A and B are shown apart, each in its own frame.
Chain A
Amino acid sequence: MRNGEYWNPILETLPPEKLRQLQLKKFREIVTWAYDHSRFYRKLYADAGLEPGDIKTCDDIRKVPKIEKAMLREVQGPGKDPFPYGDILSVPLEQVTDYRQTSGTTGQPVYQADTAQDWECSTEAYCYALYAQGYRDTDRLFVPFGYNIFIAFWAYHYAGQKLGCEVIPGGVLNTEARVLKMQELRATAMGATPTYVLGMAETARKLGLDPPKDLFIRKITVAGEPGGSIPATRQRMEAAWGARVYDQVGSTEIGHWGWECRHQSGLHVNEGFFLVEIEDVDTGEPITEPGQRGKMVVTNFNRLAQPCIRFDVKDIIAWNAQSCDCGRTFRLLQGGLQGRADDITKVKGVLLSPAAIEEVVRDIPQLSDEYYVVVTKKGDIDDITLKVEILPEHQGEADAIRTALTDQLRLKTNLGYHIEFHDYGSLPRSQAKTRRFQDLRPH
């Protein structure tokens, strides 16, 4: 046992057979809670002929129906009681203390209710990550991010505080001011998206600063994009800042389920708090063999207000055959999140659904049916180009159409685009299934 290495050695070094035993026990508990307290889960399980007592072994876990984002949307929203969470809410509404939501880029946002205890648990899960990455009470954390209705970096802030770090909220500043504030206060660590980590370094250089020499950041936790687990991007970030960069993964509905430790051997799954299963994308059969890619299904053992049980996330992952030198028994993933089972991808840290773009383009009658979306990297920043055609009879309305597109795309996808107008009929037409979304970023 190495004191000082682990936030909680009791769980982090639990022998694998004990860890599986704990996971089965906690899985049964959360299923029982959901069955007893959520109309959504009770109906889901009753329709499947399942009662919590039927779960006796780890193999029985697969009998429990999975949930998907679309199912959550269906039970929530206007007219649903208790508003806005609907039948999935598992505590009295007056016990809900925290509201957050998904970005809504794949459709109607999912509303997320948490009790104070649920949020404490999100913070606790993040503490495991930060401590594993070497954060200590001597660190001064900078959060170069405007806290929003989304989950991003809230838990980073509170976990840092819980570890005893000093947390600086840098949200309302622009990038230049953030860099200067980091320098002024000698911040030692920060959390941001990979894109923004690189963008800030570029800004610092424009200010005449060399981040490794003139700033004091030595630890960076990245989230929201896959870059933290992409070696070339990580190297670029580490070189730009003279800092160690660690990947961290999670989501609004699930919580913060995975992170890298100081050894940077891959993402550890926090198996004391979460059950991560991997399924074959086509057959749904379980995958336990390291190196074999499949779809992630995840359960949060401790979230009570809005339980997350066997959530089909559609992220593609694979177990890593290697164990980590850190001594944790929490398993590693190979290569982080390797993509998604559907078309949804992350651009500038935001989940982007091609369907959402199509919805906007097709809702503007002055545009033709054809469009293409091209995502590239300009320098270190993601760039999205939307190519559309204006119908001949509306050629004089380009400015109004550009404004409408920009506004609606921002509203529906939370992203900005370069809009290119092409001559009517000039974009490729295909009779086969058209690939409208081209992601040309190097991976």
Chain B
Amino acid sequence: MTPEYDIKAMAARIAALRRDATALKEISGGIEAVGRNADRILACVRMLEIDVSDAAGLDEG
């Protein structure tokens, strides 16, 4: 793995981003500008999960 980076800490922050963006979308009250931008954020969060979090899970296995 890569000891220079705290992957688990990054994964925890990424999970928090997902929670926040999802929660924002849920309370958007149907405002397109909020919901669609939250979707964009979630797509970027997914990239962070692919880049970081998925590999962080390997250490636990």
Choose, from A7-15, A280-288, A357-365, the stretch at the interface. Answer: A7-15
Interface of B is mostly: helix
Near A by CB (< 8 A), chain B positions 1-15 give 1-2, 4-5, 7
Is residue A21 within 8 Å, beta carbon to beta carbon, of the partner chain? yes
Contacts A116-B43, A117-B43 known; A13 to B55 CB distance under 8 Å?
A: no
Are B55 and A14 interface neighbours, CB within 8 A?
yes
Are A121 and B50 interface neighbours, CB within 8 A?
yes
Cα(A301)–Cα(B55), bound, Å: 14
Is residue A246 within 8 Å, beta carbon to beta carbon, of the partner chain? no
Is residue A43 within 8 Å, beta carbon to beta carbon, of the partner chain? no
Are A1 and B2 interface neighbours, CB within 8 A?
yes
Are A11 and B55 interface neighbours, CB within 8 A?
yes
Which residue on chain A has the smallest CB distance to residue B36?
Answer: A116
Q: How far is the CB of B58 from chain A (nearest CB, A)?
A: 5
Contacts of B26 in A (CB 8 A): none
Are B61 and A21 interface neighbours, CB within 8 A?
yes
Are B7 and A10 interface neighbours, CB within 8 A?
yes
Contacts of A18 in B (CB 8 A): 1, 55, 58
Is residue A313 within 8 Å, beta carbon to beta carbon, of the partner chain? no
Cα(A247)–Cα(B19), bound, Å: 39
In the complex, which of the residues A15, A21, A25, A117 has the most CB atoms of chain B within 10 Å of its own CB atom? A117
Cα(A302)–Cα(B4), bound, Å: 27
Are A13 and B58 interface neighbours, CB within 8 A?
no
Near B by CB (< 8 A), chain A positions 61-118 give 115-117
Instruction: Indicate the size class of the contact surface on chain B.
Output: 20 to 34
Q: How far is the CB of A175 from chain B (nearest CB, A)?
A: 36
Contacts of A21 in B (CB 8 A): 58, 61
Is residue B25 within 8 Å, beta carbon to beta carbon, of the partner chain? no
Is residue A124 within 8 Å, beta carbon to beta carbon, of the partner chain? yes
Contacts of B40 in A (CB 8 A): 116
Cα(A13)–Cα(B3), bound, Å: 11
Q: Which residue of the partner chain, among A15, A116, A121, A124, contacts B1 with CB atoms under 8 Å?
A: A15
Which residue on chain A has the smallest CB distance to residue B3?
Answer: A1
Are A22 and B1 interface neighbours, CB within 8 A?
no
Are A117 and B4 interface neighbours, CB within 8 A?
no
Cα(A273)–Cα(B49), bound, Å: 12
Q: How far is the CB of B50 from chain A (nearest CB, A)?
A: 6
Is residue B34 within 8 Å, beta carbon to beta carbon, of the partner chain? no
Cα(A22)–Cα(B1), bound, Å: 12
Cα(A272)–Cα(B55), bound, Å: 9
Cα(A22)–Cα(B46), bound, Å: 16
Q: How far is the CB of A134 from chain B (nearest CB, A)?
A: 20
Contacts A10-B7, A14-B55 known; A117 to B46 CB distance under 8 Å?
A: yes
Is residue A26 within 8 Å, beta carbon to beta carbon, of the partner chain? yes
Are B47 and A120 interface neighbours, CB within 8 A?
yes
Cα(A121)–Cα(B40), bound, Å: 12
Are B43 and A25 interface neighbours, CB within 8 A?
no
Q: Which residue of the partner chain, among B46, B55, B58, contacts A121 with CB atoms under 8 Å?
A: B46
The 9 closest A-B pairs by CB, nearest first: A117-B43, A120-B43, A124-B47, A8-B51, A1-B4, A116-B43, A10-B55, A117-B46, A18-B58
Inter-chain pairs besides A10-B5, A10-B51, 17 sampled, C-beta below 8 Å? A8-B51, A10-B52, A11-B55, A15-B1, A18-B55, A18-B58, A21-B58, A25-B54, A25-B58, A116-B39, A116-B43, A117-B43, A120-B44, A120-B47, A272-B51, A302-B46, A302-B50
Q: Which of A's residues lie within 8 Å of B, judged by CB?
A: 1, 8-11, 13-15, 18, 21-22, 25-26, 115-117, 120-121, 124, 272-273, 301-302
11 contacts between A and B (CB under 8 A): A1-B4, A10-B5, A10-B7, A10-B55, A14-B1, A18-B55, A116-B40, A117-B43, A121-B47, A272-B51, A302-B50
